[in-house]
Structures are given as C-alpha cells and as structure tokens.
Structure 1
Amino acid sequence: MTRPYLPLNALRAFEAAARHLSFTHAADELNVTQAAVSHQVKLLEERLGVALFKRLPRGLMITAEGEALLPVMRESFDRMADMLERLEGGEVRDILHIGAVGTFAVGWLLPRLARFQVRHPLIDVRISTHNNRVDMASEGLDYAIRFGDGAWHGLEAQRLFDAPLSPLCTPRLAETLRAPSDLFRQTLLRSYRESEWSHWFTAAGITRPPARPCGITFDSSLAMMEAAVQGVGVALAPPRMFARQLGSSQVLQPFDIHAALGSYWLTRLKSRKPSTVMTTFANWLLEEVRLAYGSEA
C-alpha cells in the first residue's frame, strides 16, 4: 500500500500558526505572506476533512483536532531538526540529553566534561539543570542526575557518590566559629529541605538542636553558596560540589563534621533501553567517579 503524500509546507504552516495562534505571526516566522500560510492550512484541513482552527476576528483558536495534531508535528519537526544537525558537516553526530541538579552540573560535571568531549567528539551533550524535580519522559532526557536515596518510581538508579553536608562560610565568619554552638548566633542558609541543619547539629553532638533553625531558605544550592560568598550567612552544603570556592578561599569549612543525607544518582527511565551513546556516557561518568573518589564513592 502506497503511503499518502505528506504536504510538508502545509504541516509546517499549521505548526507555526498553532504556536502563535496567528497566521500573520506564522508568516513572519516562515518568511512568506499571511495569505500563503492561510492557504496552506486550508489545504491541510481539506485534506484531513477536519477544521484545525476557528477563525476569530482577532486571531485563531485551535480546535480539538488541531490540539491532537500539534504535539505530533512538534515532535516530528524537532526530530528532523536533530537529524539534520547530526548530519551537518558530513559526520553523523549523536545527541545526548542530560538533566542534572544545578549544583552537580556546575560544581562537578562541567569541570570534567571537556575530557568526555575530547574522547568522544561526535557526541553532543546537551545539559539542562533542575532542582531535583524532573519529568524525564516529557523533557526527552536520556539521563537525569539527582540527589536523594535512589528510590524514584519508574526509574533505574545507579549510585554515583555521597555528598555529605557541612557548614561553609567566608574566612571572616569562620574566625568567629570556635564550636558548633557558635552557629546559633549566625544567619543559617539552607536548601528547601527543612531538617538539614537539625541533622548536622545532631552529628556535631548537640543533642537538642533547634527544630527549625532560623535563617534563609533557597531553592538552589548555587544561589545559597553565592549568598555565603557575599557574607550573608553560613551555608550548609556539600563541600565536594564547591571545591573551586574552597580552593580559592572564597569560603572555608570551619568544622570537619558532616551530615550524610543522600547521594547523587544517575537515573534513567526503566522503560528506556540504554542506547550505545547512553552507555558510553554512563561508563565515562562512573570512571570519573572512581578517579575522583576510588572506593569512597
């Protein structure tokens, strides 16, 4: 059976018009006239036998049939664009989509990623950052690197390494800290996980730490560390993720006391069979972990 001819111009016109809900704006994007876009969409509607838009005095309203077609068109055009990009220059390039907790991406992965690119120059790594909340399926991710206990529904998780937390602050503030209890007089910076400081005080031997220490809450450890560098307060963060700031003495770790609340994990959808490119990246990442921490990871 011969497959029907696909009117690509009409499909592109529909996809652009659906995004903008305007034939005029779609025409500007496609560098054609408004009449040409309207004509192409009309041809597609006649071909399908359904209305894709309701024409209104001030724009368009997409119909239920148009809503059903739009995500398919977006995915198809995105896949074509990805393939054309892979073929550019006469070499087939593979694309790897990685989602990573921002702290891990900036503090650990980026300083090492150049080594991966040297070894695998035909793999394009695309990194998006998240705050430990990510929908791998809808975001089209091959892997997501997360912090926690490794138990996420529908995901296969491989442990990378622990990232215990410890206070970090400017050298000036560190001079005022002789004992862990001195922290009660400081502004305490923490992430959205409320119990972190309480866990750390317990590890420090303070049997009755405040249930909810006063301080400032951040949704990003990167923002929290910037506040610490500026002297706003004392951050509770994983020193392994902030080696650069520690190495340059922007911050110091006043106490060699840690609270272990989780690990970093490499996760993928259980329903997704690892591709060759995914396996290549996972093997490289685990090798880097072994080089950095050996059996401690």
Structure 2
Amino acid sequence: MDRPNIPLNALRAFEVAARQGSFTRAAIELRVTQAAVSHQLIALEELLGTTLFLRTPKGLVLTDEGTALHPVLTQSFDRIGSVLDRFLDGRYQETLNLGVVTTFATGYLIERLPDFQAKHPGVNLRLFTNNNRVDIAKEGLDIAIRFGEGLWPGLHAAPLLTTPLTPLCSPEVAQSLKTPQDLAGHPLFRSYRSDEWELWFQQAAAPCPKIEGPVFDSSVAMADMVEAGLGIALLPYHMFARRLATGRLIRPFPTEITTGKYWLTHLKSKPATPALTLFKNWLLAQEPVTST
C-alpha cells in the first residue's frame, strides 16, 4: 500500500475501538459520533478485504487479523504522540543522555559543544563522564563515546578519532630524558591496558623495563600526576593539546603507538531518535584533531 493512501483516520478509529472494546467508548475518546466510528471501521475492513472485529452481545472481539494489526498501530501512534509532545513553543525539544570517557570529554568534546547547542537549541544534552567502562542500557544512556576497537555486541559503532599514545612528562622530568632507555629511571604509570608500554618500547626499538608504576583507570588522572612531576605516562597526546601548547606537559620522544580509536556507540535494539541522529551527524562532521 502506498503511504500517501494510508487511511489514518480509519486506522486511528480502529486502534481506539480495539483498545476500548466498544464503539461507544471509542466515539467518546475521539470526540465523534458512534456512527462516524462505525463508518470508519467498515471502510477500513472493505479496504483491507478482511474482518477486523466480531460484534458480539458482550462487545467487540478482535479477529486474528485485528489482533495482528492492533499492537502495531498502538506502538506507532504512541511514538507519534511522543514526538509531538516534544514540540514546545513551536520548537522540537528532546533530552539526549550522553556517556563519554572523561579524556575525550575534556580534551575534545566540551570545547566544541557550544557549536552543537547553537545549531540545535532544541536538544537538551546531558553529559555523563566515565572511565571507559559503561553499559548503555543499564545506565539509561542514548549514546556512549568510548575508546577501543569498535567491537561491542549489540551496539552500532561509528569511528570518531584515532589518537596515538606517546610518553608525556613534566618539563623538569624531560630534562633527564635523552633516549627511550632513560624512561626506566622514572615511575611509568600504567592504564588498565597492560601491554601499552611494552608495545611502545618495541616501536622505539628499545628494551622494555619492568613496569611497576601505579595503575590508573583515567588518562586525565595520569596527566595530573605527570604534570606534578611524579612520573611518566603513555597518553593520547591529541587530548592534551592545551597542556602541551602551554608547556605544562612535554612530549620527549616522537615514537607513538595506536591501540584503538574513539567510537560513538548506541544500541541496535533502540530506534535512533531525532536528537541522537542530529548529535551523531554533527560529531562525525567535526574536524579531526591535528598533531601537536
């Protein structure tokens, strides 16, 4: 059936009558006469070539065909109503719950959000930061931005940024670093991805010392410790461009490794809302970060 020919009034009359179990109660809800409801339903049955109701002394009883059609219409009208409810003062309004790993939030996203809000004032963005461990469904999120390989069961994943890792340190510590081997004389902070330092030393063609430094679940926390001169960390240097530009952090060696990307993820089982689509398209269109 062509969409322009969908009999919306008749379908609405059927949905209400099936839910109310009565032409009379359906007429009251729709604010029309009982005859108008009956006329719409007869026309719908003629169009579909099937009987949707059995009229019995106890009321309306759905046929198999009516039983198949009713829940589809209820869900569809509920979704339409939900969207229409979001139009306030002539403008679409929707809340979007966004979970984002803290490093990406502070190093990339937050400074760009004014542009999104200016372009889409009807989207109320609620930001929840995390340490890259997040469950979209359980936490009631619409989107999660996370770091990894893009393989999460049940999720759509769109690549955002590749941010290589390289050692960062304070200016004072940098003075003692001439070769990669000199790193062994300092605490080397680790993330929960335990093989990163080994991969970096392999890339630098240098022996990997025994890594015994503290383990962190936050790159931002590691950067704070590094800036205080307490050690050295492998960090996604693009996310700390401001600290590098001001000299608060130093990149002592050019060697870098890539262990994953930042991804925008959302549930496959949940239809994308207008706000989700607007945010996703906006973020994917942003300029990539540049080398520091």
Taking structure 1 as the reference length, what is the TM-score of the superposition? 0.67
| Whole-Å separation in 2 of the counterparts to 1:168 and 1:122 | 40
**Do structure 1's residue 253 and structure 2's residue 224 form an aligned pair?**
no
The residue identity in structure 1 corresponding to 2:272 is: P
Asked if 1:292 is matched to 2:291, the reply is no
> Secondary structure of the equivalent of 1:176?
coil
User: Structure 2 matches for 1:167-178, cutoff 5 A?
Assistant: 167-178=167-178
Structure 2: distance between partners of 1:99 and 1:240: 20
Match of 2:159 in 1: 159
Point out 4+ residue stretches in structure 1 off by more than 4 angstroms. 85-92
Q: Which runs of 5+ in 2 are unaligned?
A: 1-18, 22-81
Considering only CA atoms, is the larger Rg found in Structure 1 or Structure 2? 2
Compute the displacement of 1:256 (Å).
Answer: 0.8
Q: Does 1:201 align with 2:207?
A: no
SS at 1:194 equivalent? coil
Q: Displacement of 1:2 after TM fit?
A: 5.3
The aligned counterpart of 2:235 is: 237
Question: What is the match of residue 62 of structure 2?
Answer: none
Counterpart contact for 2:156–2:267, Cα < 8 Å: yes
SS at match of 1:136: coil
1:136 aligns with 2:136: yes
Answer yes or no: is the 8 Å Cα contact 2:170–2:250 preserved in 1: yes
d(CA) in 2 for partners of 1:138, 1:231: 39
Give the letter aligned to residue 154 of structure 1.
G
CA deviation vs aligned residue, 1:236-281 (integer Å, no higher than 9, x gap): 1000111111111110101111011111111111112212211111
Whether the aligned pair in 2 keeps the contact of 1:189 and 1:215 (CA below 8 Å) is yes
Identity %: 44
- Closer, same or farther: CA 239–184 of 1 in aligned 2, 3 Å: same
Query: What TM-score results when the alignment is normalised by the length of structure 2?
Result: 0.68
Separation (CA, whole Å) in 1 of partners of 2:241 and 2:223: 12
Q: In the alignment, which residue of structure 1 is the partner of 2:182?
A: 182
Tell me which amino acid in the other structure corresponds to 2:120: H
Deviation at 1:90, TM superposition (A): 7.5
| Pairs aligned (count) | 212
Distance in 2 between residues matched to 1:197 and 1:267, nearest whole Å: 28
From 219, 224, 231, the equivalent of 1:221 is 219
Distance 1:241 1:155 in 2: 25
User: Residue 86 of structure 1 contacts residue 95 of structure 1 at CA under 8 Å; is this kept in 2?
Assistant: no
Structure 1 residue 275 and structure 2 residue 270: aligned? no
Distance in 2 between residues matched to 1:86 and 1:202, nearest whole Å: 54
Find the aligned partners of 2:168 and 2:146 in 1 and give their Cα distance: 22
User: Where do 1:35-54 residues align within 5 Å?
Assistant: none
Task: Summarize the alignment of residues 68-79 of structure 1 with structure 2, pairs less than 5 Å apart.
Answer: none
Q: Give 3-state SS (helix, strand or coil) of 2:194's partner.
A: coil
Preserved CA contact (<8 Å) 1:102 1:222: yes
In the TM superposition, what is the alpha-carbon distance from 1:87 to its structure 2 partner? Answer: 7.1
Native 8 Å contact 1:155 1:270 kept in 2 = yes
The structure where helix makes up a greater share of residues is 1
CA distance in 2, matches of 1:234, 1:138: 35
SS at match of 1:272: coil
The whole-number CA distance in structure 2 between the counterparts of 1:278 and 1:89 is 21
Q: How does 1:80-91 map to 2 (within 5 A)?
A: none
Q: Give the RMSD, CA atoms, in angstroms.
A: 2.3
Q: Could you tell me which amino acid in structure 1 is paired with residue 194 of structure 2?
A: E
Alpha-carbon distance in 2 for matches of 1:283, 1:193: 30
Q: C-alpha distance in 2, partners of 1:117/1:249?
A: 31
